[in-house]
Amino acid sequence: MKSITTDEVLALLDANEDLHIIDVREDEEVANGIIPGAVHIPLGQIPERFEELDPETPYIIVCHAGGRSFSACTYLEGKGYDVTNLEGGMSVWDGELEF
């Protein structure tokens, strides 16, 4: 499974790269801030909502510390999606947040 660090994501955002980020945390966690532009799909909804995602688009999957995003990546990879796990998740994110 591919992984990426928060520093790498921040560098890509600073370079105005078009990133597709999926946040799989729960509603109450996202209420405390989400990476700007990220789409919120709680982990428990991934099996019923994965078809909303484009199989040709690379996605970065994020959660609080990396465990749930790892599970989401495993599931989505099994469905043929191009996914990358954000190492450490939001617990190590020091970039901007959207509320």
**Predicted pLDDT of residue 94:** 94
Length of the chain in terms of residues written? 99
Question: Average pLDDT for residues 81-97, to the nearest whole number?
Answer: 97
pLDDT band with cut points at 50, 70 and 90 for residue 3 = very high
C-alpha span between 3 and 74 (Å, rounded) = 12
What contacts 86, CB < 8 A, 6 or more positions away? 3, 4, 5, 6, 9, 21, 60, 61, 62, 63, 66, 69
Active-site annotation holds for 73: no
Distance CA 43, CA 32 (A): 17
Specify the CATH superfamily of domain 2-92.
Answer: Rhodanese-like domain (3.40.250.10)
Active-site entry in 21, 34, 63, 86:
63
Q: Of 87, 92, 49, give the one whose Cα is nearest residue 70.
A: 87
Amino acid 35: pLDDT: 97
Task: Kindly report, residue by residue over 30-81, the tens digit of the pLDDT.
Answer: 999 999 999 999 999 999 999 999 999 999 999 999 999 999 999 999 999 9
